[in-house]
Amino acid sequence: MPTITSELSLQFELIGRCLLAALCGALIGIERKNRLKEAGLRTHLIVALGSALMMEVSKYGFFDVLRYGMQLGVEIKLDPSRVAASIITGIGFLGAGTIFVRKQVINGLTTAAGLWTTAGIGMAIGSGMYIVGVTITLFQFIIQIILHKNLKLLRAPSSDFVVLRADNEPDIVKRVTAAFREHDIEIQSVKYEKISDKAVEIECFVKFPKAYTPVTAAEDLGAYAFIQSVET
């Protein structure tokens, strides 16, 4: 039978695991907070802390039931993995709340994936795999910083909406699309609306070439005489 000293020692060890998981979650959350993401320091800290706690409950919380079964001479079988699986399901719903779709542009995927990984880190530390949890924390933190650098190797075409106000001329749409092609900007969709006798508004969803930004597009397109203004 376990003594009071051993029980207290285990309790303090489990508390230490929760604190370590919270620190790891906070480290990841700081980077997200500094980038003004949907989930920041507090969210990542609580996710890691809660995941570690649930793993500890799953792994150590039913010892009294097992001991009671041993006293009665009855074999009791438990499945600790069921609680771990429930953590992943719960984090899936939490991550879905950070994903937004606006005008065919999806935001929040990286934050959702980060929450999912943070939960895994908390689970690892809660189950006693300290080195694995801390190593993955540092690995994720470094990845999130490096991949936000403007590396040429990682540059990819980006998509965005461009709203133009142009002269109301019979062939204005053709002239605007030709201006886009001159700068290798691929048009995905076009909406045309007459706003006055002298002006029309053209909304385009476009794909920019590599290393080409919406700011650069606004400057290049604004140089045409028939384009009155550009918004990106």
Q: Which of 151, 155, 162, 159 is nearest to 204 (CA)?
A: 162
Higher-confidence residue of 149 and 32: namely 32
| Residue listed under structure tokens 């995941």 | 51
Residue 213 has pLDDT above 60, yes or no: yes
CATH 3.40.309.10 for domain 159-231, yes or no, is no
φ and ψ at 108, to 5 degrees?
Answer: 100, 0
Distance of CA 25 to the CA centre of its chain: 14
For range 160-185, the mean pLDDT: 84
Residue 116 has pLDDT above 60, yes or no: yes
Q: What is the pLDDT of residue 211?
A: 67
Range(s) within the chain of domains with CATH label 3.30.70.260: 159-231
Q: Are 176 and 165 in contact (CB under 8 A)?
A: no
Structure tokens at 64: 């009294």
- Percent of the chain whose pLDDT exceeds 70: 81
3-state secondary structure of 47: helix
* Alpha carbons 54 and 44: distance in angstroms, whole number: 15
For range 155-173, the mean pLDDT: 77
Q: Which of 146, 144, 97, 132 is nearest to 21 (CA)?
A: 132
Residue 195 has pLDDT above 80, yes or no: yes
Higher-confidence residue of 180 and 135: namely 135
In one letter, which amino acid is 93? F
Q: What is the pLDDT of residue 125?
A: 94
User: pLDDT tier at 226 (50, 70, 90 boundaries)?
Assistant: confident
φ and ψ at 75, to 5 degrees?
Answer: -85, 120
Q: Which of 89-98, 105-114, 193-202 has the highest mean pLDDT?
A: 193-202
Q: What is the pLDDT of residue 25?
A: 92
Higher-confidence residue of 159 and 193: namely 193
Report the predicted TM-score, pTM, of the whole model to 2 decimal places.
0.60
Query: Which of left, alpha, beta for 128 (phi over 0: left; psi -120 to 50: alpha)?
Result: left
**pLDDT (tens digit per residue) in 41-82:** 888 999 999 999 988 888 877 666 556 566 666 666 666 677
Residue 117 neighbours by CB distance under 10 Å: 20
For range 90-115, the mean pLDDT: 73
* Alpha carbons 154 and 90: distance in angstroms, whole number: 32
